[in-house]
Amino acid sequence: MKKDTSRKTITESDVAKHAGVSQSAVSRAFTPGASISPKTREKVIKAAEELGYHPNLLARSLVTNRSNIIALAISYLENPFYAQVVRELSQKLRESDRHILLFSAPDGNQPDPDLEKVLRYQVDALILTGTKASPDLKDQCRKAGVPIVQINRKSDLSGISTVCGEDFEAGQIIAQHLLDGGHKRFAYIGGTEGSNTSRIREEGFRDALAKAGIKDVMVRYGANKFEAAAIAVRELLDSKMPPDAIFCASDYMAFAAMDVARNEYGLKVPEDVSVVGFNDVPDASHAAYNLTTYSQPAGALVDEAVKLVDELIENPSKRAQRREVPGELIIRTSSRQKAA
């Protein structure tokens, strides 16, 4: 990188000269809570405006060890749940004058090797969702004192904090709802094959079905993507004994299931096949789908994650935490209900 001389940098010292005050006064004028007379502060701010000076938070971060930047590593941004996480996190951090540095990780169940570059930016913390940290990255973050919090995916690695929904219980509750509706043949469309989130939801679903004497569950994976989920649904509906109840590990895949069932197979939802999703993204309540789903609000997950990040920053020796955010079944018209 060559030095860019076309870009002039206004320094504290320039502002001090222009305002006729000390450099320390300029520094204090831009430090919340620092002692400075209103008159001096006013002089400094006027001079700063005239010169186009902005207190450089990055430079300051070298002194305070705080950049006020939180790295967010995220995949599957075409899935509205993940877009909602970005929106909610960004708005939440705004309250404390912090911002997201975004790392878009490749979809799938492999850690993103490029993510290790995150530490070059001296971020205050790393939040992951839809992707996971490698053991290497975990070690590097520990050495650098950067806490890691995973949203919506339990970690296989000790030392990484997680904020998830009640995945197991939710799977059970959805199975019970479908059993109550008189369904006989059950299918599950998981997200990323091998991901803990997908696996735990499936385990809860199977657990409640097994207690009702049902052992057979058709399982396919939709990779959290619309087209892949559509293919999975076609496989299910093409089978000799197609399911009359499909639980999808995300709303986005449930939309694909409803589209395929209704438009390609001429099936009625829920009369011929019930479809249940997971997340309760805003589109789930729109009339085109009106999807029964397990509400696991992105906002609640994000609030808990930020709380946890702050605790871990405040107390770096705190052990990794596993927190669950409660959710609830939202019954809409995509699933048959218990006969009266």
For a second copy, the binding residues in 274-293 under the rule CB under 8 A are 282-283, 286-289
**Paired strand residues for 22:** none
Q: Which distant-in-sequence residues (6+ apart) come within 8 Å of 233 by Cβ?
A: 189, 220, 222, 246, 256, 257, 260, 261
**144 in contact with a second copy (CB under 8 A):** yes
Q: Do 68 and 61 meet the contact criterion of CB atoms below 8 Å apart?
A: yes
**323 in contact with a second copy (CB under 8 A):** no
**52 in contact with a second copy (CB under 8 A):** yes
**3 in contact with a second copy (CB under 8 A):** yes
**1 in contact with a second copy (CB under 8 A):** yes
**113 in contact with a second copy (CB under 8 A):** no
Listing DSSP states for 236-301 in one string gives HHHSSS--SEEEESSHHHHHHHHHIIIIIS---TTTT-EEEEEE--GGGGSTTT--EEEE--HHHH
Type of residue numbered 269: V
- Retrieve residue 331's tokens: 């019954």
Nearest-approach distance from CB 283 to a second copy, in angstroms: 8
Residue of the chain from 17, 40, 45, 104 that contacts a second copy (CB under 8 A): 104
Nearest-approach distance from CB 176 to a second copy, in angstroms: 28
DSSP-derived pairing of the beta strands 148-151 and 125-129: parallel
- Interface region with a second copy, contact rule CB under 8 A, candidates 78-86, 156-164, 188-196, 241-249: 78-86
Nearest-approach distance from CB 64 to a second copy, in angstroms: 4
**32 in contact with a second copy (CB under 8 A):** yes
**265 in contact with a second copy (CB under 8 A):** no
**210 in contact with a second copy (CB under 8 A):** no
Nearest-approach distance from CB 82 to a second copy, in angstroms: 8
**211 in contact with a second copy (CB under 8 A):** no
- Retrieve residue 202's tokens: 């499936």
Helix (H) or strand (E) holding 167: helix 167-180
**140 in contact with a second copy (CB under 8 A):** yes
- Retrieve residue 74's tokens: 């995220």
**306 in contact with a second copy (CB under 8 A):** no
- Ramachandran category for residue 232: left, alpha or beta (phi over 0 → left; psi -120 to 50 → alpha): alpha
**188 in contact with a second copy (CB under 8 A):** no
- Interface region with a second copy, contact rule CB under 8 A, candidates 127-135, 159-167, 243-251, 259-267: 259-267
